[in-house]
Amino acid sequence: MFNQIKTYKLWAPDNAVWTAWAKPVLFATIPVGVPVKLVIPKIGWIQSAEKNTMVILDLPEKRGVEEALALAGLGYRPVPLYNGVFGPSGYAMAVDVSGIAKALYQGAVNLQDLRIPGDAPPAFMLDSSRMDGYSKPMGRYDNRWCVFPQDMPSAAFLVQRGIKRIIVRAGAVASDLSHILCRYQEQGIGIYLCGDSKKIRPVTVSKPSEFKSLMYRFKVTLGLTRNAAGGFGGYVPEPTQSGSGVRYYGMG
């Protein structure tokens, strides 16, 4: 198994066009119990990499990593956008990212053997469980996160790179992702959805609430827990009762 920097560089090499958007958050901690072998699934919903097609894998747990590696074998460049911090040992994470972190480290071995061109079309990786759980879960490590338009390339950049269609590998378009896809849609980029049936179909993404609002990002991040080192993640203490009747926050 490689160290943090080596692993991250295999997923985000300097010569790749899309490395500017890769998130280093889940590479900061080497997970324990990394599996000996990562089984790469066969994907039947796409047969080859197409220069004009971008893929967004919005899948739960390690499925996004596994399918990204399968796409890498076809010529796509996997780009990890995971932005929820791996909680310190002993803390219960609101979103369990341990499986994703392990898969990223093990998957680096697979990437090492591939020769993906620097200008290969991208396959962006998201965790569909990123906003699961209660808001500000007390007594837990709150690593819920959200993807924002700033986290992905602009529509103008995609058009410049010749991207004409985007396949979203998910059961449905998530609310936060719709803010990004609508921007792409407005610039004439076709949006397609590929769910469990593995059939690719065109979709029209409806404009979400507060689309292009200056307050949207502020309101969303207000309900999340930022991490000082980057990404989202922090312990939310439990409320306790003091002898004087004054309510305060402590470790429980």
Provide CB contacts within 8 A for 204, sequence distance 6+: 185, 191
* For range 107-134, the mean pLDDT: 93
Strands 234-236 and 140-142: antiparallel
What is the structure's pLDDT at 35?
63
Strands 190-194 and 200-202: antiparallel
Beta strands (DSSP E) in the chain are 53-59, 77-80, 122-127, 140-142, 165-169, 190-194, 200-202, 234-236, 238-241, 247-250
d(CA 206, CA 164): 19
Residue 44 to residues 27, 47, 71, 74, 206, Cα–Cα distance (Å): 29, 7, 11, 12, 28
Interval 188-211: pLDDT, tens: 999 999 998 889 999 999 999 999
Full-model pTM? 0.91
Indicate the SS3 state at residue 182.
helix
Strands 247-250 and 190-194: unpaired
CB 184 within 8 A of CB 155: yes
d(CA 155, CA 188): 9
- Token pair of 70, please? 């399968």
Interval 86-111: pLDDT, tens: 988 757 899 999 999 999 999 999 99
Write down the mean pLDDT value for the chain: 90
What is the structure's pLDDT at 90?
58
Instruction: Please name the amino acid found at residue 219.
Output: K
d(CA 24, CA 82): 8
Share of the chain above pLDDT 90, in %: 78
What is the structure's pLDDT at 245?
36
What is the structure's pLDDT at 250?
31
What is the structure's pLDDT at 244?
38
Mind giving me the DSSP string for 143-173?
------GGGS--HHHHHHTT--EEEEESSS-
* For range 25-41, the mean pLDDT: 83
Interval 220-246: pLDDT, tens: 999 999 999 899 999 988 776 344 333
> How many CB atoms neighbour CB 133 within 10 A?
16
The confidence band for 39, taking pLDDT boundaries of 50, 70 and 90, is: confident
- Token pair of 28, please? 């900061």
Length of the chain: 252
The confidence band for 55, taking pLDDT boundaries of 50, 70 and 90, is: very high
137, pLDDT greater than 80: no
